Amino acid sequence: VDRATADALWQAFLEFEQDECAKCAVLYGKGGTFCAGADLKALSSKVGTDGLSRGGNKVTEPDPNARLQEGPMGPTRLALSKPVIAALEGHCVAGGLELAVWCDLRICDELAVFGVFCRRWGVPLVDGGTVRLPRLIGQSRALDMILTGRPVLALEALHFGLVNRVVSKGTARQAAEALASEIASYPEQDCMRMDRRSALEQWGLPSEGHALLNEYRLGSSVLRHAVQGAGRFRDGAGRGGSFGDFSKSQL
């Protein structure tokens, strides 16, 4: 991912966020590889007298109060209101791993490889990798990956909780799009988004009590929709744990 690609990714997700018809996005890489990280050739070019690159991706100090700012890899500092699913095949390493853990869910094929491969070149994680990876898989496993840079294969990634599903070779995008369609099919998307927001925002709150208060406030803002849903259940929908009563929405 060079600077132009990072800019394009950031812009694409801004448009997704602003599109009221788009309910869930899928991020994938063409050609059998998700992403190998930032363009190191560009990073090593145009080095200034201070020893810093002038040709690589934009590395700026993040603003903790800005919700839609751009990260070095593009969308990694966006706090979206809607979910994103990563479809992962081939290598998902370095900044590519950071893109993947920025997403809400990750589906990989059986040949996918994960790792902090930038450890070999002395390039740090500056797209949220040291923050989101421990939150996803725990401090010990995250440090194993961060300190060693070793490759982690699909089944170990599933065991870690780094990915949510492993599918057969070459079908990650298909599986991710099917899951996105399922998520988009549910009624009252605002309710789902408030639950998602509560789960994500709890990390920045000082106590469980504050997190419970935030959950209450977000849930209360959409509680009126629960009356409609209860009415559908009363009329016979969803009995026996069925999910077949929900029509698919247009992605």
Per-residue pLDDT of the chain (251 residues; tens, 9 = 90+): 998 999 999 999 999 999 999 999 999 999 999 999 988 787 766 555 555 555 567 788 999 999 999 999 999 999 999 999 999 999 999 999 999 999 999 999 999 999 999 999 999 999 999 999 999 999 999 999 999 999 999 999 999 999 999 999 999 999 999 999 999 998 889 999 999 999 999 999 999 999 999 999 999 999 887 777 777 777 777 677 767 665 544 33
Task: Write down the pLDDT at residue 108.
Answer: 98
8 A C-beta contact, residue 175 and residue 107: yes
Task: Write down the pLDDT at residue 228.
Answer: 77
Beta bridge partners of 131: none
Residue 23, helix vs strand vs coil: coil
User: What distance lies between CA 240 and its chain's CA centroid?
Assistant: 32
Q: How many CB atoms lie within 10 A of CB 227?
A: 8
Q: Which residues, other chains included, contact 248 with Cβ-Cβ below 8 Å and sequence gap of 6+?
A: 181, 182, 184, 185
Q: Which two tokens stand for residue 108?
A: 């990989």
Q: How many CB atoms lie within 10 A of CB 174?
A: 16
Task: Write down the pLDDT at residue 141.
Answer: 98
Tokens 């602003």, located at residue: 18
pTM value > 0.85: yes
8 A C-beta contact, residue 138 and residue 168: no
Task: Assign residue 137 a region (left: φ > 0; alpha: ψ between -120 and 50; beta: otherwise).
Answer: alpha
